[in-house]
């Protein structure tokens, strides 16, 4: 494998471990990818069915733009690879990360009827690429969940096109997707969005409890 792939695979495994430790990738949930090269497209992709706390660099797969394995691995790429490929193509992303945290799952359901969540007024928003002030309104679209990945990839593409400023989206009762120009930026975006979703969730719980 290329040096780029080897380096990205090591970084992806390390991010998986740290996200797992934070409860964002429990069991075999969630998936991670990074672009190794664009022409032809090659992604380092997490395999299906592997505990993300135990993921090792040599388990990362190299896939093409049809989610077929092009490396000498016997594993199976994540079922959601088609969504990663769509985000890489439509956003020009260098990496895509997908988490299944408790708070993103709760908020993806609470706000589903509104089609998305507005996050505004928080200092942490400045961690999102291009955002300069807390006085920013971030719209995180919510997409209905599905097991038909080809159909879901089409909806994701349409949503990305309709919300060109979005740094991520939620799948209802499922999880959060975010991306970045680089793997470091994608990791930062997930950390920022997870922080903001948990903050909003906890705030609304406290407000309800104390009827503020
Ligand atoms: Zn998922």
Stated pTM of the model: 0.96
| Percentage, residues of the chain above pLDDT 90 | 89
φ, ψ (nearest 5 deg) of residue 167: -100, 0
Whether 212 has a pLDDT exceeding 70, the answer reads no
What distance in Å separates the CA atoms of residue 12 and residue 183, rounded to the nearest whole number?
8
Q: Which two tokens stand for residue 200?
A: 């909003």
Q: How far apart are the CA of 99 and the centre of ligand 1, in A?
A: 7
Give me the residue label for tokens 């740290």. 18
pLDDT tens per residue, range 38-65: 999 999 999 999 999 999 999 999 999 9
Q: How far apart are the CA of 211 and the centre of ligand 1, in A?
A: 34
Confidence of residue 70 (pLDDT cuts 50, 70, 90): very high
Q: What is the maximum alpha-carbon separation in the chain?
A: 58
What distance in Å separates the CA atoms of residue 139 and residue 36, rounded to the nearest whole number?
29
Q: How far apart are the CA of 190 and the centre of ligand 1, in A?
A: 14
Q: How far apart are the CA of 195 and the centre of ligand 1, in A?
A: 19
Q: How far apart are the CA of 78 and the centre of ligand 1, in A?
A: 9
Q: In what order do the strands lie in the sheet containing 42-45?
A: 61-63, 42-45, 31-37, 95-99, 175-180, 168-171, 137-143, 116-120
Whether 73 has a pLDDT exceeding 80, the answer reads no
Burial class (CB in 10 A: 0-12, 13-18, 19+), 211: exposed
Q: How far apart are the CA of 143 and the centre of ligand 1, in A?
A: 12
Q: Which two tokens stand for residue 46?
A: 């997490």
Q: How far apart are the CA of 138 and the centre of ligand 1, in A?
A: 22
pLDDT of residue 29: 93
Q: How far apart are the CA of 80 and the centre of ligand 1, in A?
A: 7
Q: How far apart are the CA of 177 and the centre of ligand 1, in A?
A: 9
- Three-state DSSP state, 40: coil
Confidence of residue 78 (pLDDT cuts 50, 70, 90): confident
What distance in Å separates the CA atoms of residue 85 and residue 87, rounded to the nearest whole number?
5
Q: 3-state SS of 43-72?
A: EEECECCCCCCCCCHHHCEEECCCCCECCC
């Amino acid at each position: 494998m290329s040096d780029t792939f080897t380096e990205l695979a090591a970084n992806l495994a390390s991010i998986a471990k740290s996200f797992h430790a934070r409860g964002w990738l429990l069991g075999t949930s969630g998936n991670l990818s990074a672009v190794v090269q664009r022409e032809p497209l090659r992604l380092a992709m997490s395999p299906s069915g592997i505990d993300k706390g135990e993921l090792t660099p040599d388990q990362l797969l190299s896939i093409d733009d049809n989610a077929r394995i092009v490396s000498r691995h016997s594993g199976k790429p994540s079922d959601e690879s088609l969504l990663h490929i769509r985000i890489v193509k439509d956003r020009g992303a260098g990496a895509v990360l997908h988490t299944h945290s408790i708070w993103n799952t709760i908020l993806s359901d609470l706000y589903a009827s509104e089609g998305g969540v507005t996050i505004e007024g928080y200092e942490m928003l400045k961690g999102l690429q291009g955002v300069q002030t807390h006085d920013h309104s971030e719209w995180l679209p919510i997409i209905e969940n599905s097991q038909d990945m080809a159909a879901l990839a089409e909806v994701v593409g349409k949503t990305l096109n309709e919300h060109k400023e979005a740094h991520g989206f939620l799948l209802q009762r499922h999880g959060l997707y975010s991306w970045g120009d680089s793997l470091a930026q994608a990791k930062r975006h997930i950390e920022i969005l997870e922080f903001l979703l948990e903050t909003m969730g906890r705030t609304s719980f406290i407000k309800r409890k104390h009827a503020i």
